[in-house]
Structure 1
Amino acid sequence: MLVVDVVEKGSWGFARARDRDQLVVPAGQFIVRHTGPSWRFAVKAHTSTTTKLVLPVAHLGPLIHRRPVLGSADSAEMRLLLAHARMIDDRLDDLSPAGARAARGALLELALGVLTQQVDGTEPQLAPALVQAAKDLVRGHLSDPELSPRMLARELNISVRTLHRAFAATDESVTAHIRHQRLEQTRLALTGPLARPGVAELARFWQFADTSHFVRAFKKQYGQTPAQYARSQEAPRT
Structure 2
Amino acid sequence: MQLSYSTRDLVPAQRRTAWQKAIASVYFPLDLVFQGSRQGSGVFEGSLEAWTLGSVSISRNCSNGLLYRRHEQHLVEECDESYLITVPELAEVRFLQDGQDVSCQPGGFLIERSHLPYEFSHRDPASLWVLKVPKAVLENRISRPERLASLRFDARTGAGALFVDMLRLSVARITEFDATAQQLIGCQLVELLAAAVSSDSRVLTGSSTTVRHAHLCRAEDIIRSRLRDPALTPQSVADACGISLRYLQQIFEEEDTTVGTQIRTQRLMQCDQRLRDPHFRGSISQIAYACGFGDQAQFSRSYRAHFGRTPSDTRAEARRNH
TM-score by length of 1: 0.47
| Larger strand percent | 2
Larger radius of gyration: 1
